[in-house]
Amino acid sequence: MSDSLLSDILNNDGVNPVEQFLRSDRIPHIWCPGCGIGTTVNSFARALIESKIDLQSLALVSGIGCTGRVAGYVQLDSFHTTHGRAIPFATGLKLANPKLNVVVYSGDGDLSAIGGNHLIHAARRNIDLKVICVNNLIYAMTGGQTAPTTPDDSITSTNPYGVFEPSFNLPQLVEAAGAVYVARWTTFHVRQLARSIGEAFQKKGFSFIEVISPCPTLYQRRNKLGDGLDAMKYYKEKSKVRHGAPTSEVGLTMTGEIVVGKFVDRDRPDYQTLMRGQFAESLGERFVEQTEMVCS
Partner 1 sequence: MAKGRVSVVVERCKACGFCVEFCPSHVLALSSAFNSKGYHPPHVVHPEKCSGCDLCGMYCPDFAIFATKVKTAGGDK
Partner 2 sequence: MKADPRGVLTGIHFMDGDHACCEGALAAGARFAAGYPITPSTEVVERFASRVPTVGGTFIQMEDELAASITLQGAVWGGAKAFTVTSGPGFSLMMEHIGYAVMTETPCVFVDVQRGGPSTGLPTLPAQSDMFQARWGSHGDYEIIALCPNSPQECFDLTIKAFNLAEEFRVPVMFMMDEVVGHMTEKVVIPPADQIDVTPRRHTHKSFEDYLPYGTNGDQVPEMAHAGEGYKFHVTGLTHDERGYPNMTPQVQDKLVRRLQSKIRDAADRIALFEEEQIEGADVVVISYGITSRVAQRAIEAARDQGLCVGKLRLITAWPFPEQKIRELAANVKAFVVPELNLGQMVREVERAAAGQAKTFAVSHAGGGVHNPNDILKVIVEASR
Task: List interacting residues with partner 1 (CB under 8 A).
Answer: 1-3, 6-12, 14, 16-19, 22, 27-29, 31-39, 41-43, 46, 187-188, 190-191, 194, 227-229, 232-233
5-34 positions binding partner 2, by CB under 8 A: 23, 26
The reply to whether 121 sits near partner 2 by the rule CB under 8 A is yes
Residue type, position 14, single letter = G
Question: Which of 108, 88, 92 lies closest to 100, judged by CA?
Answer: 92
Partner in contact with 274, chosen from partner 1, partner 2, none, beta carbon below 5 to 8 Å by kind: none
Instruction: State which residue, 57 or 255, has the beta carbon closest to partner 2.
Output: 57
- Least distance to partner 2, CB of residue 90, Å: 6
Of 187-195, 227-235, 244-252, 288-296, which segment contacts partner 2 by CB under 8 A?
A: 288-296
Contacts (Cβ under 8 Å, ≥6 apart) of 185: 192, 193, 196, 209, 210, 211, 212, 260
**Number of CB atoms found within 10 A of residue 29's CB:** 17
209 close to 193: Cβ distance less than 8 angstroms: yes
Cα 186 to Cα 277: distance, rounded to the nearest angstrom: 38
Question: Which of 219, 214, 212 lies closest to 145, judged by CA?
Answer: 219
The reply to whether 275 sits near partner 2 by the rule CB under 8 A is yes
- Least distance to partner 2, CB of residue 39, Å: 22
DSSP 127: -
Q: Please give the residue ranges that form the binding site for partner 2 (CB under 8 A).
A: 23, 26, 55-57, 59, 61, 71-72, 75-82, 84-85, 88-97, 99-100, 117-118, 121, 275, 279, 283, 286-296
